[in-house]
Amino acid sequence: MTNIPEHFQINSQGHLEVSGCDTVELAKKFGTPLYVLDETRIRQNCRDYVAGLAEAYPETQVCYAGKAFLCRAICCLVEQEGLGLDVVSGGELFTALKAGFPPEKIYFHGNNKSREELALALENGVGYLVVDGLYELELLRELLGGTGKRQRVLLRLAPGVEAHTHVYIQTGQEDSKFGLAINGGQALRAVKTVLESPYLELAGFHAHIGSQIFDLTSYEVAAGILGRFMVEVRRETGFIAKVLNLGGGLGIRYTREDKPLPVREAAKRTGQMVREVFAALDYPWPKLVLEPGRSIVGDAGVTLYTIGNIKTIPGIRRYVMVDGGMADNPRVALYQAVYEAVVANKAGRPAGEVVTVAGKACESGDILIRDIPLAAPEPGDILAVFATGAYTYSMASNYNRLPRPAVVLAANGQGELIVARETYEQIVANDLLPPRFCGKGVREAVEG
């Protein structure tokens, strides 16, 4: 039995292939650890979202949530597919601007945007600021009041919906740091403040209920709560929202236990549900925005590692150690995430031996996969871990001063670097060595 996801192939040499690229060759050419993203799959996911949603709903916009994985090439790719972009920090915004992403298609999120981040967004004509809290409204008054400029905003709401997912990635529940609470009147007060501010234009509302969600009824419930709030706002103020942004969150297949709906189907059903909710409320359909991150890039990614040390503890466990781990994929340590993998150069062989894949970080918790059957792993083999396109590179660290791996985009038999591997020189680039410290490094620094 093979656990290879359907969009990967095994070539005549028995090697794992991604979009026509032999992963063993990619590992040889670019080194390991290496993140490989299947460009064909990313584009397909984008198209499925756009088409599925458009089939079911009058006016739609799909935005890619850059926090899942952002670099300039990805900005350009999703832009080519007609997507907007969700950014959540000055760094993400800067990346998008550097890539030439159209600012009017950017939604700027964040529960504690700084004055500098807001200024960067305002200077560059970001399409929508998603205001998350009263303090942000205060900062916007300081930045925009009296300038004669006007900024379009959405208000982020906390709908009080608990999506069925890991507690660290639930976001819509009432006890959350995100969003203006509908219950208790905070959200309504924020609406009134924005409507009274000549420098702000209220376009509508946003909510994001969580991540890795399989049960779409959570979206229906959230849309219902937001819809009823919008009806209340109309009654109180006369304001009719033009935009409803329901965030991201659709789950992907990490293991064979995960059975997500195909993206196109999920997008279509979400569109249908929202359409029905607003029809029942007799409220004009707002433009529906979705912001998927994981379900655009997650299943398109595979991380390649080289197997090194193997430690067998008789009768207990066999540790197969790879040249990366929690520094390039902290999701296992953070969320108890479960991954599947194959030995890429033995992908055609049966996976018989149950082993534990451990990373190289100086930490017992640096385990990538517990108890996975692999095909006779040996030092020098290439291990391919699936579904690592989202929240891996973007959450990677330099723990143990490990350089961050490179990222390659694979399409039609060609692998192209889109993020270079970090170097040791880059690792020390920000270190400063004041002259009072002794040692060789000082002498070099002093002598220039």
The answer to the question of residue 208 lying near ligand LLP (CB under 6 A) is yes
**Residue whose CB is less far from ligand LLP, 174 or 353:** 174
Binder of ligand LLP out of 264, 268, 331, 360 (CB under 6 A)? 331
Binder of ligand LLP out of 21, 42, 68, 202 (CB under 6 A)? 68
Binder of ligand LLP out of 268, 269, 294, 404 (CB under 6 A)? 294
Site for ligand LLP in 348-377 (CB under 6 A): none
d(CA 339, CA 165): 16
Contact assessment for residue 71 and residue 419, using Cβ atoms and an 8 Å cutoff? yes
My answer on whether omega of the bond before 314 falls inside 30° of 0, hence cis, is no
CA distances from 160 to 170, 182, 226, 241, 399 (A): 11, 8, 10, 20, 36
Instruction: Please report where in the chains the tokens 């234009």 appear, as a residue.
Output: 201
d(CA 309, CA 120): 48
Tokens of 143: 């930045």
Binder of ligand LLP out of 295, 303, 306, 388 (CB under 6 A)? 295
The answer to the question of residue 211 lying near ligand LLP (CB under 6 A) is yes
Adjacent-strand bridge partners of 414: 411
The span of 71-79, 265-273, 289-297, 408-416 binding ligand LLP (CB under 6 A) equals 289-297
The span of 65-73, 234-242, 350-358, 437-445 binding ligand LLP (CB under 6 A) equals 65-73
The answer to the question of residue 293 lying near ligand LLP (CB under 6 A) is yes
Least distance from ligand LLP to the Cβ atom of residue 241, Å = 17
Of 21, 76, 362, 438, which one is the catalytic site residue? 362
d(CA 355, CA 348): 18
The answer to the question of residue 209 lying near ligand LLP (CB under 6 A) is no
d(CA 13, CA 30): 20
Residues 6+ apart with CB under 8 A from 167: none
The answer to the question of residue 328 lying near ligand LLP (CB under 6 A) is no
**Residue whose CB is less far from ligand LLP, 30 or 391:** 391
**Residue whose CB is less far from ligand LLP, 193 or 295:** 295
To the query of whether residue 21 is one of the catalytic residues in this protein, the response is no
The answer to the question of residue 176 lying near ligand LLP (CB under 6 A) is no
Site for ligand LLP in 114-143 (CB under 6 A): none
The answer to the question of residue 248 lying near ligand LLP (CB under 6 A) is yes
User: DSSP string covering 43-94, please?
Assistant: HHHHHHHHHHHHHH-SSEEEEEEGGGS--HHHHHHHHHTT-EEEE-SHHHHH
The answer to the question of residue 65 lying near ligand LLP (CB under 6 A) is yes
Taken in order 81, 84, 89, 94, is the CA torsion positive or negative? positive
Number of H helices, E strands in the chain: 13, 21
Binder of ligand LLP out of 69, 205, 391, 393 (CB under 6 A)? 391
Q: What 3-state class would DSSP assign to 406?
A: strand
Tokens of 437: 């410290």
The answer to the question of residue 109 lying near ligand LLP (CB under 6 A) is yes
Applying CB under 6 A, the residues found at the interface with ligand LLP are 65, 67-68, 86, 109, 169, 171, 208, 211-212, 247-250, 291-295, 331, 335, 390-391
Give catalytic residue positions.
362
